[in-house]
Amino acid sequence: MASFSHRFLIDYSINTPVNQLLLIFKSKCSEILEKLVASKWSSERYSQPWITSKGKRITRKQKTAHGKSMFTRDWKRYRALTALVDCRAFGLQRLQWTAASLAQ
CA 7 from centre of chain:
40
Q: Give the CA distances from residue 86 to residues 1, 23, 29, 46, 53, in Å, rounded to whole numbers and listed in that order.
A: 53, 52, 47, 16, 16
Residue ranges of domains in the chain: 2-36, 53-103
By percentage, how much of the chain surpasses pLDDT 70? 69
CA–CA separation, 72 vs 69, rounded Å? 5
Average pLDDT, the chain: 76
pLDDT digits over 43-100, tens only?
666 566 666 777 778 788 888 888 888 888 888 888 887 777 766 655 555 444 455 5
What global pTM score does this model have?
Answer: 0.40
pLDDT digits over 17-39, tens only?
889 989 988 998 898 888 888 77
